[in-house]
Chain A
Amino acid sequence: MFTSANFLVPNATVLVEIGVFAAVLGVVARFVLPRLRAAMDHRQEEIRSAIEATQRARQLLKTAELDYETRLSDARRQASAIIESARRVGAYLQAEARKQAKEEHDRIVARAQWDIDQATAVARDQLQQEPEDWTSTQSH
Chain B
Amino acid sequence: MTPQIFAAPGQIEIGVHNTISLGGATFNIDTIAASLLAGIIVVGFGLYVRIRATDGVPHRTQLAWEMLVTTTERHFERTVGSTGRKVVPLAISLFAFILIANWLELVPSGSPKSLPPPTGDINLTVALAGLVILMVHGASLRARGLRGYLRHYLRPSPWLLPINFIEEMAKPVTLALRLFGNVFAGAVVAALILDLLPPHLASIPLLFWKLFAMCVAVVQAFLFALLTILYFQTALKPDEEPSSEEGHAAEHAGTDTPVSPASQGSVSIHTSSVPPER
Q: Which residues of A contact B (CB under 8 A)?
A: 1-4, 7-18, 20-25, 27-29, 31-33, 35-37, 39-40, 42-43, 46
- Contact between B97 and A14 (Cβ–Cβ < 8 Å)? no
| Least CB distance, B103 to chain A, in whole angstroms | 15
Chain A residue with Cβ nearest B65: A36
B241 at the interface (CB under 8 A from A): no
B108 at the interface (CB under 8 A from A): no
Whole-angstrom distance between the alpha carbons of A21 and B126 in the complex? 12
- Contact between B16 and A36 (Cβ–Cβ < 8 Å)? no
- Contact between A2 and B50 (Cβ–Cβ < 8 Å)? no
Interface range for B: 35 or more
**Consensus secondary structure, chain A interface:** helix
Chain B residue with Cβ nearest A8: B122
Q: Which residues of B contact A (CB under 8 A)?
A: 9-10, 12-17, 19, 22, 25-28, 31-32, 35-36, 39, 42-43, 46-47, 49-50, 53-56, 58, 62, 65-66, 69-70, 88-90, 92-93, 96-97, 118, 121-124, 126-128, 130-131
- Contact between A11 and B123 (Cβ–Cβ < 8 Å)? yes
Among B14, B17, B55, B92, which residue has its beta carbon within 8 angstroms of that of A1?
Answer: B14
- Contact between B92 and A33 (Cβ–Cβ < 8 Å)? yes
Chain B residue with Cβ nearest A22: B131
- Contact between B50 and A32 (Cβ–Cβ < 8 Å)? yes
Known: A3-B16, A20-B35, A42-B55. A13 touches B49 (CB 8 A): no
Beyond A11-B25, A27-B47: 17 further Cβ-contacts under 8 Å? Answer: A1-B9, A7-B16, A11-B26, A12-B22, A13-B27, A15-B127, A16-B32, A17-B32, A17-B35, A17-B124, A18-B130, A21-B128, A21-B131, A24-B97, A27-B43, A28-B46, A36-B62
